[in-house]
Chains A and B, each alone.
Chain A
Amino acid sequence: MDRRRFLAGTAAIIVLPFGTASATPEAMAEAIRKVVGSAAVTEGRVKLDMPPLIENGNTVPLVVSVESPMTAADHVKAIHVFNEKNPQPNVFSARLSPLSGKATVGTRIKLGDSQKIVAIAETSDGRFWSASADVIVTLAACLEEST
């Protein structure tokens, strides 16, 4: 086997695991559609806080906050977060109520690649609001067993 063929072969082996089921921008759009249905999604009212440059994709802090008085008449019912390039487009769906008092949710997530993250909030009047963030990941969440 000459050197060129050998290199091409190893390249294929390295690329293969990453080629398996991965979310795409289309998969994310479809996942968002599943949540919002035919309703329009307006940009605004939602703030998505996460670092723009991420050194370790295994634990990425993320805070979603939505401007809302959180009263019985006007509150945030749900907050959903989606991603473009992890194996699955969904990250989490949180349910809130007037008992929450404040529409803010924080957690830590895994990111497999540099990508766009979208947060969508559903208010009690049935409308949807969104915010997005583009993040750069230098070390992706591991795809291999670490031991």
Chain B
Amino acid sequence: MADVLVNAPKTAKRGAVVEIKALILHPMETGFRPGPNGRIIPRNIIERFTATWNDAEIFSMDMSPAISANPFVSFFAVAAESGVVRLRWTGDEGFVVEEQVAIAVE
């Protein structure tokens, strides 16, 4: 349902550093633009992105209106043990989306 695209390896060698890429559909309306009626369109952005690996935080990002629409984030993580990477986006107007991917560590 959620319009999320996550790119992470399915398997990794123990101790390897893996790249995780995540893209989410979101307008990231800045709150600085006037609409067709001349009024400012209210701000509607994702404010925060967090990633956990087996519930330990590996990465987080506070976003501003300067992040492009459909925010893309890439980051790295150490593959210590098999588990679930949970990604969470929260923002204006009660926006919450969660996605998870499993990574098997050999």
Q: Determine which of B18, B33, B73 lies in contact with A144 in the assembled complex, contact meaning CB atoms within 8 Å.
A: B33
Q: Which of A66-124 contact B (CB under 8 A)?
A: 83, 86-88, 90-111
Q: What number of residue pairs across chains A and B have CB atoms under 8 A from each other?
A: 113
Q: In the complex the two chains form, is A60's CB within 8 Å of B76's CB?
A: no
Answer yes or no: A59 CB below 8 A from chain B CBs: yes
CA–CA, A109 to B58, complex, Å? 22
Smallest CB–CB gap between B62 and chain A, Å?
5
CA–CA, A94 to B61, complex, Å? 4
Answer yes or no: A38 CB below 8 A from chain B CBs: no
Q: In the complex the two chains form, is A93's CB within 8 Å of B74's CB?
A: no
Residues of B within 8 A of A99 (CB): 53, 56-58, 77-78, 80
CA–CA, A17 to B22, complex, Å? 34
Residues of A within 8 A of B68 (CB): 58-60, 107-110
Q: In the complex the two chains form, is A92's CB within 8 Å of B32's CB?
A: no
Known contacts A21-B32, A144-B33; A101 and B65 CB within 8 A of each other: no
Answer yes or no: A11 CB below 8 A from chain B CBs: no
Q: In the complex the two chains form, is A100's CB within 8 Å of B34's CB?
A: no
Smallest CB–CB gap between B56 and chain A, Å?
6
User: What 1/0 flags go to B45-72 for Cβ under 8 Å of A?
Assistant: 0000000010011111111111111011
Q: Which of B5-54 contact A (CB under 8 A)?
A: 17-18, 21, 28, 30, 32-36, 41, 53
Smallest CB–CB gap between A65 and chain B, Å?
10
Contact surface of B with A, Cβ cutoff 8 Å? 17-18, 21, 28, 30, 32-36, 41, 53, 56-69, 71-78, 80
Contact surface of A with B, Cβ cutoff 8 Å? 17, 20-21, 58-60, 63, 83, 86-88, 90-111, 142-145, 147
